[in-house]
Structure formats: structure tokens, C-alpha cells
Amino acid sequence: MELEADHVAELSGRPLGELKRRDVAIALLSVPSQDALASLPGIRRGLLAAGNPLSAAFWGSAEAILHKIADHEATFGDVHGWLEATGTEPTGIIGLHVWEEPSERSPLQEEMHARLVSYLEERLMTGETDPDRLVTGDAEARRDYLALQERWMTSALPDGRVPMTVLLDEQDEAFLADWAAADAEALSALRSVLGSAGERPLPAAELRVAAARLRADIARPGWPGQMLVSFSGRNADSLPADDAELWLTLATSVASPQGDPLSEEDKEFARAMEWAEDEDLDFGDPGEGPGDDEDDEEPDEMSAAMAAVCALDHFDWLAVMSALVTGGPGTPASAADLARYVRDFDLDEEDDEDEEETGDGDEEEEDDEAGGEFDSNGFVDFEDVGGLDELDELSIEGLFLHVTAMWSVLGAIDEDDRLTPLGWWGLPEAMQRAWTE
């Protein structure tokens, strides 16, 4: 199906004489590339007759990108970059905001995108934007084009709203809703595992010993007490007095850090994180305290530890909890073991067992085949890949090193990195709290 100039005008809702490059570009991209290439001469003649010839640079770039698409050599970035070079298409990422594809935009995103397009059209008419420089890849022109958009995004509209602020607020709300849904799904799966495992008694004697040791650690400066307190987001005085509540509060914060290490003292304490097994660790060495140039150039270990733990997702934790709950006391629980549990975990297999009882297995299998190896957001889905490669496993092991260091202090794992009865009882309870709170 070849496009005609009048049809392009109809699609954009403007007369031929007022069409912008973006209008033509979107129309060309709406049909198969071969059809678009065949339509170029007619569209160009129609615009020329209407006194709106655009430019040779635009037509040349249109032919080039369409040939690239037809030859299956164009990337998403190539196509969107060409669309942005029309001078009125917003850049895909502006600051912290990412524009969704048109079909995925919320009403607010659609409104703000349309407002920004209108603003860019005004700037084009005043000559502030030169699309011929954009289409040739002029670096300065692209910087100016992005700066123009950033100024609009961070300036108040007549109604007082700041586009960047309201868009990021909406994005945060959507993220929190998605995260809450993931929490609920993981919690349901964990409770199913716990139901199959049966009763896990609380080892009262072990809990008393662990709680007494934790209180002593917290009363002293440095590792390990201050790390656990900082992860919990509390201070020593606000921690629960009850042994079980104290233990569960600290264990929950290992999986879901609540703290924000800001003080230099905390940063010095946290340097022990990588060397928690070094009995000779000496905090408070005046020659290596906070404020050294070397320290100022590197991120503090507390922040690094929190970032590492936060990088572990629901799938990782569910894999680990399933292995530990099923294995019981004595189950290997070193960082390498935890990474291996993630590698070997097959949530689909557990789902299939449930589906065998409901008779829905065949339908689910068809869905998996159609879904490929990517999730709905285009990211690789570990559940569909069928295992992590060696590099991924080593990376996850590095993240779990921070976890096992604190589990050891809590008494959840012993000196041989094996799950204790206290850990068997408490870690799943803490994980349920993390996914509930």
C-alpha cells in the first residue's frame, strides 16, 4: 500500500502546507518499508506543490533509514534517532524520565508528550532548532535539542505542574504497585513451600544466646553490630526488647534494608564488611579514619553492601528460601551455595506440579513457548533461560557474600556456613515480613 501526500495529511490532522517532518516520518514508519520507499517520490511532489518542500537532507535521511529497515539492519535506536532528528520528536530519555511507546503510555504521559511536541514545534518555527543539523548527527545541535527539552520538562506549566515531577511521581507509583504485586506473588509461593515443609519449631535456647550476643555487638562500635543497626534503619535504643522481635527485625532488614548510611562513622564501621572474618580487624585506626583522600574517592562499604542486597530480586530470595526450608538444619548456606540454588531453581517446575492437579499444564506450556526468553518488558527472564551462566552465578555469589556475613552474626548459619535450627525457623519468617511490610 503506497502512501499519498493527502493521506499523510489526513493521518496527521494538518493540511499539506503545515506538515512537519515528524508527521511524514511517522506516516512512513506506519507502513512496510518497501511501500514507504515507493511512496517517497509522490509524497515529496505533493508537499512541493503545497509549498512545503521540507529539505533535501530530510528526504535523503528518510530514504536511507527505510533502506536500512528493509535490509533488516536498522536497530530501534537507529529508527528512533532518525525520528528525533525531525526536531519535534521528544528524546526517548530525558533526565530520569523514559517515554513509553505510544501504546503503553498513561494518559498523563500522553498529555505531557503531546505538550512537549507542541512546544518543540514552536521552537522549530522560531528557528531555535535546526533539523538539518540534527539529521546529520551534529553533536552541538543534539546537545542543544536535549537541553531545550530538559528546560521545558523542569519548568512549571500554567497550571503549576512541573512535567518532570508529575511524570516521575507517576512512575514511582507504578513501580511501587508492581513491586507490591511481586511481593504478594513471592509471598504466596514461599507460604506454599512452608506449608509443604511442616512445622519449624523455634529453638528457644539458641534464640536467647543469639539475642544476647547481638545486644552485646550492638552496644559496641564497629562491625558487626553497627552494620545490622544501620541496615534496620533504627538505632540501638529503638530496637525491640523481645528476643524474637529483635532477631526477626534484624534478619528482615538483611533481606530488605531500611537504613540510609550517611555518617562518616558508619562508613568507617562498614569497611569491615569485606573482612568480617578477620579477627584482627581494628576499628578506629587514626591513620586510616574517615576523611582520607583515598576514602573520599571510593563509595563506602555500607552503601555497597546495601546496593548489593537490593540487587537481589524476588526470584533470587525465593530460590534460596525454598532450598533452605526444604533442606532444613544443616543445609549448606555459603554464598556459593546460595548462588547455586538460584541457578538450579525452576519455578516453572513447581508451577507444573500445581497445574497437574488443576489440569492447566498444557495451556501453560503453550504460553511459555510463545513467551520466548524475554519478559513483558523485554528483559531476559531467568525463569525461561533455564539457568545462569558461570559469570552470572559468580556475580550473584558476590551479592550473597554480604548476606551470609550478616546471617553468620545472627546465628542463622554456623561457622561451616550451614543452616542452623535458628536460621531454619527465623529466615523464612523474616522473609515473609520483608514481603509483607
Q: Helix 204-219 crosses helix 225-232 at what angle (to 10 degrees)? A: 100
Q: Is the pLDDT of residue 186 over 80?
A: yes
- Of 426, 407, 427, whose CA–CA distance to 417 is shortest? 407
Is residue 30 pLDDT above 80, yes or no?
A: yes
For the chain, the residue count is 437
pLDDT on residue 303? 74
Q: Quick one: pLDDT at residue 410? A: 96
Phi first, then psi: give them for residue 413, nearest 5 degrees. -130, 150
pLDDT of residue 325: 97
Look at residue 165 in the predicted model and tell me its pLDDT.
Answer: 96
What grid cell was written down for 85? 532528528
Res 374 pLDDT > 80: no
Residue 347 · residue 189 · CB < 8 Å? yes
Share of the chain above pLDDT 90, in %: 65
What pLDDT score was predicted for residue 370?
34
**Residue 23 parent element (H or E):** helix 21-29
Arithmetic mean of pLDDT, 80-104: 93
Decide if 70 contacts 34 (C-beta within 8 A): yes
By mean pLDDT, which of 123-137, 180-194, 273-287, 327-341 is the weakest?
273-287
Phi, psi of 98 (to 5 degrees): -120, 125
Q: Do residues 192 and 325 make contact, with C-beta atoms less than 8 angstroms apart?
A: no
**Rounded Cα–Cα distance for residues 250 and 253 (Å):** 5
- The alpha helices in 198-224, defined as continuous H runs, are 204-219
pLDDT in tens, 224-272: 888 888 888 887 888 999 999 999 999 999 998 886 543 444 444 434 4
What DSSP string runs through 138-157?
A: -HHHHHHHHHHHHHHHTS--
Q: What is the average per-residue pLDDT within 181-200?
A: 94
CA dist 309 → 300, 305, 369 (Å): 15, 6, 32
Cβ-contact 329, 197 below 8 angstroms: no
User: Looking up cell 535456647, which residue turns up?
Assistant: 205
Per-residue confidence band for 43, with pLDDT thresholds at 50, 70 and 90: very high
10 or 238, greater pLDDT: 10
In angstroms, the CA 419 to CA 36 distance is 64
How many CB atoms sit inside 10 A of residue 296's CB?
A: 9
Range in 143-152, 283-292, 324-333 the model is least confident about: 283-292
Listed residue (416, 409, 410) closest to 429, CA to CA: 410
Query: What mean pLDDT is predicted for residues 147-161?
Result: 96
Q: Is the pLDDT of residue 290 over 50?
A: no
Q: Residue 225's pLDDT is what? A: 80
**Per-residue confidence (pLDDT) for residue 351, from 0 to 100:** 53
Please name the amino acid found at residue 19: L
Contact at 8 Å (CB) between 404 and 333?
A: yes
pLDDT of residue 229: 86
- pLDDT band of 215, cuts 50, 70, 90: very high
Q: 93 pairs with which residues across the strands? A: 98
Higher pLDDT, 107 or 356: 107
Range with the poorest average pLDDT among 41-55, 298-312, 410-424? 298-312
In whole angstroms, how large is the CA radius of gyration of the chain?
Answer: 29
Give the integer Cα–Cα distance in Å for 70 and 80: 16
How is residue 19 written as a grid cell?
506538515
What average pLDDT does the structure give for the chain?
Answer: 82
Q: What is the pLDDT of residue 295?
A: 40
Average pLDDT over residues 195-218: 94
Give 45-64 pLDDT, tens digit per residue.
999 999 999 999 999 999 99
Closest CA to 161 of 128, 170, 96, 121: 170
Q: CA-based angle 78:80:81, to the nearest 5?
A: 65
- Rounded to whole angstroms, the Cα distance separating 38 from 104 reads 30
Check residues 266 and 191 and name the one with the higher pLDDT: 191
Residue 366: the pLDDT is 38
Place of cell 513491586: 179
Arithmetic mean of pLDDT, 176-181 = 89
Instruction: Say what the pLDDT of residue 245 is.
Output: 96
DSSP bridge partners of 97: 94
pLDDT of residue 381 exceeding 60: no
